[in-house]
Structure 1
Amino acid sequence: MSGYRVSRRRLADVALVIAVGAIVMSAAAFDADTTAVDYVLIAVSSAALAGYREAPRAVLAVSTLSGSAYVLHAHPGLASALPVFGAVHTAARAGHRGAAAAASGVFLAAYLPTGPTTHDVVERTALLAGWFLCAVITGMADRNWQAYLRQTEQRAVEAERTREEAALRRAGEERLRIARELHDSLTHSISIVKLQAGVAVHLARKRGEEVPPALLAIQDASSEAMRELRSTLEVLRSDEPTGTPALLVERACAAGLAADLKVTGEVSPVPPTLDRAVYRIVQEALTNAARHAGPARVQVQLAYETDGLTITVTDDGTADPSRPPTPGVGLTGMRERVTALAGTLHAGPRAEGGFEVRARLPLGEAG
C-alpha cells in the first residue's frame, strides 16, 4: 500500500513538471525571438520541480538560476516566473524561508531590465513581487497546516494506543482476579475431595476389602479435575500476545503509519517464549516510531536463519545520531526480554538518519 502511495506521488510530481513546462513553453512559442537555448533553460527550470520533495533547496537553486538566465536572455512575459514561483513555494513549505526570499529577490533582479517602459517594468516587477510574497506565505501556511495534521494524527494514535493498553490492563486484572477466585475456592475443594478419596481407597486396600468402583472413579476424576484446573490457571495468569507481527503492521498502517513487513528465510515454528518476545519487540518498535519518528516510513523485517531469528525495525524519521535518545520503559523492557533469551539488541539512531531496532534471538537451547 505504501508503494502505491509513493507511485501516486511520483506521478503527481511528473504531471506538475509537464503542466508547468507546457505553460511556459507555450507562452515562449508566441515570441519570435525565442531560441533553442531558451527552451532548454525552460525545460531545466521546470524539470527541477520533480525533486522538490527530496531536495527543495537544490530545486530552488536550479529553477532560480535557469529561470533568471532565461529572462535575461529572452526578456519573456510573466509566465516565465511560474517554475521559480513553484520552487519558492515548495522551499518555504519545507521551512527554508530565507532561501525562498533570496531566490525571489534574485529572479526579480534578473527580471527588472525587461519591459518597454519604466512604468511597465515597475508594474510587472510589483506584480511578480506580490506573486513571490504569496508563494512564501502559502508555503509557510501549508507547512504549519501539515504540522498541525501530523500532531493531530499522533494524538489520535497515542489516544488509541492508550485505550488499547487500558483495555488490555483491565482484561489482565480481570483474568488475575478470576484466577485467584478459582484457586482459593475450587482448588481447595477439589484437593479435599481428592485427599478423602485417596484415604478411603488406601484404608479399603489395607483392610483387604474390594475398593468400590465409584470411589476409584471419584479419585481419578478429582485428579483429572486438578490437572485441568492448574492448566486453566496457567492460561489465565499468562501474558500471551493476541496477534502476530503481520497484524501489528496492519494495525499500524490503519492508524496512519507507513509500515511494511518483510519476511526472509524459511519460516519455522519457534518456542512460545521467543514468539512472545518477537511480538513485543515489534509492537514496542512500531509504537516508538508512531510517537517519535514523525511522518516516516517504517520497515519491519523478520529474518529466519538456521540458528536464530533477527528482528529489524527501521524508520527514516527525525532521529539524529548526535542526540541519542534516553532509554525509557519500552526500550528497557525490550532489552530485558532479549537478554533473558540470550540474545543481542541494538537500538539507536542510524547514521543516515532515522532510528533502528535490531534484535538477534537464538533458536537453540538458549532460545
Structure 2
Amino acid sequence: MRRDLPYALGGLVLGGLLLGNAALTPDAATVGALDVALVLAMAVALAVCRRYPVVALAVVTVAMLAVHVRVHPGVSAAFPVLSAVYVAAWRGRRAAAAVASLVFLGSFLTRDISMAPAGRPGDLVAERTALLLGWFVAANVAGLVARQRRAYLEQVEQRAIEAERTREEMALRRAGEERLRIARDLHDSLTHSISVIKVQAGIAVHLARKHGEQPSATLLAIQEASSAAMRELRTTLDVLRSPADEDHVGLARVDELVERTQAAGVLVHVTVSGPARDLPAEIDQAGYRVVQEALTNVARHAGPATAHVHVEYAPAQLTVSVTDDGHASPAHPVTPGVGLRGMRERVTGLGGTLRAAANDDHGFTVRAAFPLDGPGRTARSRAVQPAQRVAESR
C-alpha cells in the first residue's frame, strides 16, 4: 500500500489542477457534481494503476473524455491519461497504452473539431494534434525506456548475485582444499611424533610394572597427555576433512580438562555461576578452548600453582575465567605468544573481549566474555575464525 501512496497523491494533484483549470478557462462549462465524481474516479484509478494498469488506464481514459466533453477544460484533461499511459507502458502493457492513446487523441480532437470557432478550425486542430501527439508518444516511449532500464538493472543485480555466489563457492572450495592439505601435513608429521611419545611412554610404564616398580606420576601424566593429544588431533583432523564439526567440544567437557591438568600436578577448582543454558555452538567451543589453553599455560609456565576455573552464565553474556597463583607478576609481564594471540582472535571474532594479564600480587588471569545477544553476535557470522585450533604456547 505504501507504494501506491505516490500515485494516489499524484491523482489528487492532477484532479485539483484539472478542476482549477476548468474554473479559470473562459470557454469552459460550469463544473458540476458529476464532473467532480469523474475526477475522483480518475484519482482512485491512478492510485491503483501500478497494480492494475489496464483497468486503471481504461477508467482514467473514459473519465477524462467525459470531463472533456462536459466541461472542456482544455489540454489539462490529457495529463491524467498521460500518467496512466506511462505507467501501463512501464508495466509492460504496451498495446493497452497505445490503444488508450489513440482513443483519447481521436475523441479529444473530434470534440475540438466539432466545437472549434469559425474561421480557423484547421489551425487549432493542427496545433492541438501536434501538441497531444508529441505528449502521448513521449509518454509511451518513456514508459518503455523505464521498463527496459528496470529489466537491465534487475539483470545486473542478478549477475552480481551470481558472481558473488560463484566467488563464495570458489572460496569454499579453496578453503576445503587448504583444510585437506593441512590435515595431510598434520597426519604425516604431528601424528607420527605424538604416536611415538605415546608408545614410548606406554612401554616405559609397562616395563616399570613388569619389574615390580610403580610408574612415576610424571610418566603417567605423559602417557595420559599423549593419549589426550592423539584424541584431540584426531578430532582436529576430522574437522579439517569435513566442513561440519561432528565431534563438538564445549564447556560440558571442562571436567576432562581438569582431570588431565590435575594429572600433570596442578590442582584445579571449578566454579559455575548461574543456571547452565544451551549456548551457540561456536561460543560453547570457544569457551572450552579458552579454558583448555589457559590450563595448558598454567601447567607449563606457572610452576607449583593452583588454578581456579570460573564459568558464569548470565542472560546476555557468558564469562569464562581461569586464575592461577603461580609466579607471574606485573614486574615481569608475559610476552604474548601463539596461544594468547590465537585465543584473542577466537574471542574477538565472536564479538567478545579477552583480558590476559598478571595479577597485582602474583599469578595470572585469563578472562573471556562472550555476548549472547545483541549486535556483538553479528560479527561472528562475517568473521572467518583464523584461530580454530589448539594453541601451541603462550
TM range (shorter): 0.5 to 0.7
Report the counterpart of residue 168 of structure 1 in structure 2.
172
Match of 2:48 among 48, 51, 75: 51
Deviating 4+ runs (over 4 angstroms)? 268-272
Q: Distance in 2 between matches of 1:124 and 1:240?
A: 73
SS of equivalent to 2:31 = coil
| Stretches of structure 2 lacking an aligned partner (at least 5 in a row) | 246-276, 282-394
Residue number among 7, 14, 17 corresponding to 2:8 in the alignment: 14
Distance 2:78 2:279 in 1: 62
Corresponding residue for 1:38? Answer: 35
CA distance in 2, matches of 1:270, 1:100: 59
The equivalent residue for 2:201 is 197
Paired letter, 2:206: H
Contact 1:21 1:47 survives alignment (8 Å): no
Q: Aligned pair 1:74/2:42, yes or no? A: no
1:101 to 98, 103, 109: 98
Q: Which amino acid aligns with 2:4?
A: R
Alpha-carbon shift at residue 240 of structure 1 (Å)? 4.0
Q: Is 1:29 the equivalent of 2:23? A: yes
Which secondary structure does the structure 1 equivalent of 2:189 belong to?
helix
Matches within 5 A, 1:281-300: none
Deviations 1:259-278 (A, max 9, x none): xxxxxxxxx97998xxxxxx
The answer for the alignment partner of 1:113 in structure 2 is 111
Alignment of structure 1 residues 1-367 onto 2, 5 Å: 7=2, 9-30=3-24, 31-111=28-108, 112-114=110-112, 115-117=115-117, 118-119=121-122, 120-240=124-244
Q: Cα offset for 1:134? A: 0.9
Percent identical residues? 52
Partners in 1 of 2:224 and 2:42 — Cα distance? 88
In structure 1, list runs of 5 or more residues that go unmatched.
Answer: 1-5, 242-267, 273-367
Matched-pair contact (CA < 8 Å) for 1:52–1:87: yes
* C-alpha distance in 2 between matches for 1:270 and 1:14: 50
Partner of 1:282: none
Shift in Å, 1:217: 2.2
Secondary structure (helix, strand or coil) at the match of 1:113 reads helix
Q: Distance in 2 between matches of 1:18 and 1:34?
A: 17
User: Retained in 1: the 8 A contact 2:22–2:72?
Assistant: no
Q: 1:113 to 1:14 in 2, by over 3 A?
A: closer
TM-score by length of 1: 0.61
AA matched with 1:54 = R
1:157, 1:42 → 2: CA distance? 45
**Counterparts of 2:89 and 2:37, CA distance in 1:** 26
Q: Distance in 2 between matches of 1:44 and 1:213?
A: 95
Does the Cα contact within 8 Å between 1:56 and 1:91 map onto a contact in 2?
yes
CA–CA distance in 2 between the matches of 1:148 and 1:76? 40
CA 1:53–1:101: 2 relative to 1, 3 Å: same
Q: Render the CA deviation track for 1:80-133: whole Å, top value 9, x for unaligned.
A: 111111111111111111111110111122212224242223321332122111
With 203-212 and 55-64 compared, the bigger mean Cα shift is at 203-212
1:92–1:139 Cα contact (<8 Å) kept? yes
Aligned mates of 1:132, 1:201 — CA distance in 2: 98
**How many pairs does the alignment contain?**
240
The CA distance in 1 between the partners of 2:94 and 2:193, in whole Å, is 77
Say whether the 8 Å CA contact 2:4–2:48 is kept in structure 1. no
Instruction: Give the letter aligned to residue 234 of structure 1.
Output: D
- 1:240/1:68 CA distance change after superposition, 3 Å: farther
| Equivalent-residue separation in structure 2 for 1:71 and 1:10 (angstroms) | 26
Deviations 1:43-74 (A, max 9, x none): 21232111122111111111111112222222
Equivalent position SS for 2:60 = helix
TM superposition score normalised by structure 2: 0.57
String of CA shifts for 1:270-327, please: whole Å, max 9, x gaps: 998xxxxxxxxxxxxxxxxxxxxxxxxxxxxxxxxxxxxxxxxxxxxxxxxxxxxxxx
Change (3 A) 1:131 1:144: same
Kept in 1: contact 2:7–2:46 (CA 8 A):
yes
The range that moved more, 57-66 or 10-19, is: 10-19
Q: Secondary structure at the match of 1:89?
A: helix
C-alpha separation in 1, matches of 2:127 and 2:95 = 25
Cα distance in 2 between the residues matched to 1:42 and 1:128? 20
Q: Report the CA distance between 1:34 and its aligned residue.
A: 2.2
Amino acid at match of 2:100: A
**Quick one: distance in 1 between partners of 2:278 and 2:18?**
62
